[in-house]
Structure 1
Amino acid sequence: MGRIAIGVGTQFNTLQQQGIDLNGQPGTDFFKVPQPQVFPASSNAGTSGLPSVNIADASQLTTDNYRLSYAGSSGWTLTDTTTNQPVSMTGSGTSASPYTAAGLHIVVPTNVSAGDNFTIEPTTYAARDLSLNLTNSRQIAAASVVASTATQANAGNATISSPTLTAAAGSVNTTSVNLTISGNPPNTWTATDAANGTTLSSGAYSQTNGATIALNGWSVNLSGGAQTGDSFTVSGTGPGDNGNALRMAASQQQNLLENGGSGATATFGAAYSQLVAQVGTETQAAQTSAKTNQALLNQATALQQSISGVNLDQEAANLLKYQQAYQASAKVIATANSLFKTLLQAVQ
C-alpha cells in the first residue's frame, strides 16, 4: 500500500507542476510524499549521521526493505533484506552523484566504520504519512499550460499528443505554433510562429515512426500517417481549460509501477489488486494453519486425557462395583456373627 501511495502522490505532483490553477498560477505539489525511513544498526561504531535517501523514480520502487553496509576499503553495498540478494548501485554516493538503485537516490555519510550498516524502508510508512499539500480547491492545476490540436481539414490520419512540459510551467513560452508536414513523400515537419509565419524550427518526419518535437518548453509526439500539407497547432490555454485534469484522471489507466528496467508494467489498480490477492492468500494460509493447529491440540488433549485423565463413566462403574462388594462383605460379616452367637449359646 505504501508503494501505491508514493506512486499516486508522485504522479499527481508531476502533473500539478505541468498545469496552471484557477488563479492562473503554476501548480504546486498536490501531496506531501513521505521519503524513505532510515535506521542505523545498534552495533554501528561510526559517529556519522544517517544516509540521505530520497525517491528517484517511483515506478522502480519495490515493497522490499534494504540494508546499506560499509565494508571499509571495499566500499558500500546494498542488500535486499527480503530476498537477501545484493542490489546493484550506480553513482558514487555523493550529493553530486548519489548512488542510484531500486528507484532510490542514496547519499552516504562520512566518518563511518567498517561493518556499519543502515536499514532503509522506502514504503513501510508511506500510506500512513502521505498527506494533502493543497489548502484550497482553486490550487488544483486543472488547466494545461499549452494544448495541441489537429487541423480538421488534414488529409492524413496522424495524431498529435498532449504537450508535455520540458520546463517549469511559469517559464513555458505559450506563443501559438503551427506544425506543418511537407515533402513528397511526407518527410519533414516545420514549426512556425502562428502570428507572423516566422520559421522556428524543423526536423525529420517518418510515416512509420512519426516525430517528437520539442520547442518553447514543451514537447509533443506526432504519430505516423500524416500527408503533405497536414498541420497541427500548439498554443497557450487559460484557467478554463481542463486538459491537465483529464491527464490526472487518465493516470489510473497508465502503467506507472513495477518498472524492472524495461518500463512500468502495472497500473495503480493492478498493484492494489495484487496487494489484496496477497493479503487474501496469506489470510487463508493463516486460517488453514490455525485449523490444523487446533486439530493437533484437540488430538493431543484427547491422548493426554486417555492416559492421565478421569473417565467419569468408568469411575461410576467402579463405584457401583465397590458398593456391591461392600454390601456382600457386610452380609458375610453378619452371617459369621450370627453363627458365632449360635455356637456360644450351644456350649453354655
Structure 2
Amino acid sequence: MSIFSVGVSGLNAAQAGILTASHNISNASTPGFSRQETVQGTNIPMLTGSGFQGQGTHVVTVKRIYDEFLGRQVLSAEASASEMDSYLAQIKQIDNLLADPNAGLSPALAAFFKGVQDVAANPASIPSRQSMLSAAQSLVARFQSIDQRMTEIRDGTNSQIMGQVTAINTYSAQIADINQRIILAQAGNQTQAPNDLLDQRDQMLKDLNKLIRVSTLTQGDGSFNVFIGNGQPLVVGTQSYQLQAVASRDDPERIVVAMKGVGGTTLTLPDSQITGGTLGGLVAFRSQSLDAAQNAMGRLALSLAQNFNDQHHLGMDLTGALGVDFFNLSNAVPTVRANGGNSGSTLVTGMPTVTIDSQNIDELTVSDYTLTTDGTNFTLTRLSDNVTTAITTVPQLVDGMSINTSTWTSLVAGDKFLIQPTRVGARNIAVGFSDARMIAAAAPVRTSAALANTGTASINSGTVVAPPPPNPALQNKVTITFTSATTYDVLDVTTATTLATGVVYPDPLPATGGVVTYNGWTAQITGNPATGDVFTVETNANGVADNRNAMLLGALQTAATMLGSASGPTASYQSAYSQIVSEVGSKTNEVTSIGASQQSLVDHATESLQQLAGVNLDEEAANLLRYQQAYQASAKIFEIASKIFDEIIALGR
C-alpha cells in the first residue's frame, strides 16, 4: 500500500467521524435516539525487511451507545408511573365527588333526619310531614346522583380501555413491521447493527410500555418478541397479535381485554394479568376502587331504606292505618347475571334467586360473588377475597343474602352466575308514597290504667316490637286484670279470647319482669297492684299527636345498624359513609405517593441512561473539531507525498 492509500484511509476515517458527530448533533432532540460513535481499526500491516509497516486505518463499525440494563430499568419504572397516573386521574373523580361538602351524601343525610326530628316535634303538622317527604326525595336524589356519576366514570373507564387497546394494537403492528426491517437490514451484514432502526423500535416499545407493561426476548435474527401478562405474546418476530376490548361474559356492562388467537378465537385475559401502564391503571382502578365504592353506596342506601321501612311498619299514620314501606325497594334487588359461557338453557331459565335478608342486612359486604355448580353441588365465591361457601341448604344465608339454588334447574358443570347484591341499591331506591299523612309517626297501641284501680302499679306506654301478621290483631283491645295482688288474667276483648289466666306477678310467664307481650306489642307493669286492678292495651285511636314512632325513626340516625361483626352492627349511616370517604381518600393518597416515588425512579433511571446514551452537544462539537483536524492532517499527507514524488521524478531527469 502506498502513502497515498494511507492518506486516503485517514481521510475516510475522519470523514466517517465527522458524519457520525453531525448525525448525533442533528438528532440530539429526537425521542429515543442513542448517540453513535465510530470504531476504528488499523489495516493489516505490511511485512518488510525492516519490520511491519502500518497501512493506515479503517472504520470497523458505527457503534450505538446503549445499555440494555438501564433501558429495562426505565421501562419498568415508566410502566408503574403510568399506571399510577392513570389510577390517580380516575380515583380523584370519586374522591372529589364523595368528599364534596355540598355534592356528597352527608348534607342530604343530615337534612333527612332533621325532617324526621321536625315530625317528631310536630307529629300532627302537615307542613312538617311534607318537609320530611321533600328531604327524603332529596336524599334519594342524592343517592341516585352519586350512583349516576359513578356509572358515568365506569362508562368512561370502559371507553378508555377500548382506546388503549386500539393504541396497543397499533404499536404492536408497528413493532412487528420494524422487526421485519431490522431482519432485512442485518441480512446484508450480520456484523453491523442498524442503529437508527433499533432506536426507533426501542422508542416504540417505550411508548407501548406506557400503555401496558411488556417484557421482551431478543432473537438471533435481530428481532425481538414482546409479551404481556404471564407471557401472552403480543409480537413474535414479524407477527403481531391483536388485543380486543370485549364485553365480559360475567357482566356485559364491563369491558375487558381479550387476545385474538389463531382462527379468530378470543381468550379473555384476567384483570390480574393486565398490569402496568395506562391500561393497567384503568383496570386496577375499576376492580379495586370503583366497584367497591359503588357497591358501598348501594349497601348504605339499602341498609338505610330497609331499617327505616322496618321501623315505619311499627308505626301508625294520621289516618290510623299501620305504616307501610317508606322507601320503595322493589327495583333495588340483587343483580344476578348468567355467564355468557353457560349452557343455553341457563341463559334464560333456571336462574338461582337471591334476595337481601332484612334481618341480617348489616352483614352485607361490598363484594360481588360468583355462584358455580359442578353439576350437583353449588359453591359461592366472594370475589373480594376468594372466600368460598358451599351452599348446602335451601335457602341459605350468606353475608346478608338469602340464596336459593332450588330454582336453578338446568345444572351443567362449570356454569356460573355473577351476583351483585348491592350494585344497584343507590340507583333504584325511591320514596314509597307522596301523601304526607302516610308517615307513621305514632305508635299503633296505647295503654291505660283503670280509674278505679286501688293499687300503686302503673303500666308504661307500650312498644310495638314486630309488624303484625296478616290478621290485624295488633289493633285488638287487650285487658290485664289482677285477680289478686300476685296473679292476673289476660283477655283479648276484641275476640273475647282468654290469652292467659293466673299468671304470677311480678314474674309472669312467658315473659319476665312484669312484661306482657302479645301479637307484636309489649307492655311493662311496675309497682304493687291490688286485686281487681285493670290495665288496658288498645288501638291508639286518634293518636295524631303521638310521636313515639317518629322518635324511634329519628333515633336510627345515630344507631349502629351497619357493618355487622360477631357482636352485631358496629356503625351508623354517617360513620359508614365516612368510612367510604376515608377509604377512597386513603387510596387516593396512596396512589399519589406511589406515583411520585415511581416518577422519581423514572427520572433517575432516565438520567442514568441519558448520561450514557444521550447526545452531549459540547462533546460532539469537540469531536467535530478533532475529526476536522484529523481530516486536515490526512490531507497534508497527500501534499507531502506529492512533493516527494515530484522530487523523485526530478532526480531521474
Tell me if the contact between 2:362 and 2:562 (Cα under 8 Å) persists in the aligned partners. Answer: yes
Structure 2 distance, partners of 1:150, 1:304, is 92
SS across alignment from 1:68: strand
Q: How does 1:111-260 map to 2 (within 5 A)?
A: 111-147=410-446, 162-168=463-469, 171=472, 172-175=474-477, 177-178=479-480, 191=490, 200-201=499-500, 202=503, 205-206=506-507, 210=513, 212-215=515-518, 217-220=519-522, 222=524, 226-229=526-529, 234-235=537-538, 236-237=540-541, 238-260=543-565
SS across alignment from 1:119: strand
Compared CA separation, residues 322 and 297, structure 1 to 2 (3 A): same
In structure 2, list runs of 5 or more residues that go unmatched. 1-296, 637-653
Q: How does 1:255-274 map to 2 (within 5 A)?
A: 255-260=560-565, 262-274=567-579
Structure 2 distance, partners of 1:227, 1:307, is 95
Structure 2 distance, partners of 1:123, 1:44, is 24
Cross-structure match for 1:87: 389
Deviation at 1:53, TM superposition (A): 1.0
Tell me if the contact between 1:19 and 1:143 (Cα under 8 Å) persists in the aligned partners. Answer: yes
**Percent identical across equivalent pairs?**
31
Deviations 1:128-172 (A, max 9, x none): 222222223222222221145799x99799977622234159812
Structure 2 distance, partners of 1:154, 1:285, is 69
Structure 1 distance, partners of 2:448, 2:470, is 20
Structure 1 distance, partners of 2:481, 2:300, is 38
Deviation at 1:38, TM superposition (A): 1.0
Deviation at 1:248, TM superposition (A): 0.8
Structure 2 distance, partners of 1:261, 1:10, is 21
Tell me if the contact between 1:47 and 1:112 (Cα under 8 Å) persists in the aligned partners. Answer: no
Compared CA separation, residues 318 and 40, structure 1 to 2 (3 A): same
Deviations 1:104-138 (A, max 9, x none): 12222101211111111111221222222222322
Which residue of the other structure, out of 387, 396, 401, is the alignment partner of 1:99? 396
Deviation at 1:257, TM superposition (A): 2.1
Structure 2 distance, partners of 1:265, 1:10, is 17
Structure 2 distance, partners of 1:29, 1:121, is 23
Structure 2 distance, partners of 1:182, 1:313, is 114
TM-score by length of 1: 0.74
Compared CA separation, residues 131 and 320, structure 1 to 2 (3 A): farther
RMSD, matched Cα: 4.3
Cross-structure match for 2:356: 55
Structure 2 distance, partners of 1:178, 1:309, is 97
Tell me if the contact between 1:36 and 1:54 (Cα under 8 Å) persists in the aligned partners. Answer: yes
Which residue of the other structure, out of 304, 310, 315, is the alignment partner of 2:609? 304
Structure 2 distance, partners of 1:232, 1:315, is 107
One-letter amino acid matched to 1:138: R
SS across alignment from 1:19: coil
Cross-structure match for 1:40: 338
One-letter amino acid matched to 1:12: F
Deviations 1:17-61 (A, max 9, x none): 222222333322111221111112222125133221111131221
Compared CA separation, residues 169 and 256, structure 1 to 2 (3 A): farther
Compared CA separation, residues 158 and 143, structure 1 to 2 (3 A): closer
Structure 1 distance, partners of 2:615, 2:449, is 91
Structure 1 distance, partners of 2:447, 2:623, is 99
Cross-structure match for 1:31: 327
Structure 1 distance, partners of 2:607, 2:484, is 90
In structure 1, list runs of 5 or more residues that go unmatched. 93-97, 333-348
Tell me if the contact between 1:147 and 1:163 (Cα under 8 Å) persists in the aligned partners. Answer: no
Structure 2 distance, partners of 1:150, 1:310, is 100
Q: How does 1:60-71 map to 2 (within 5 A)?
A: 60-71=363-374
Cross-structure match for 1:10: 306
Tell me if the contact between 1:148 and 1:162 (Cα under 8 Å) persists in the aligned partners. Answer: no
SS across alignment from 2:463: coil
Compared CA separation, residues 205 and 45, structure 1 to 2 (3 A): farther
State whether structure 2 residue 581 is matched by structure 1 residue 276: yes
Q: How many residue pairs were aligned? A: 321
Compared CA separation, residues 316 and 161, structure 1 to 2 (3 A): farther
Structure 1 distance, partners of 2:342, 2:385, is 23
Compared CA separation, residues 312 and 31, structure 1 to 2 (3 A): farther
TM-score by length of 2: 0.42
SS across alignment from 1:29: coil
SS across alignment from 2:556: helix
Cross-structure match for 1:345: none
Compared CA separation, residues 147 and 314, structure 1 to 2 (3 A): farther
Structure 2 distance, partners of 1:320, 1:305, is 23
One-letter amino acid matched to 2:399: A
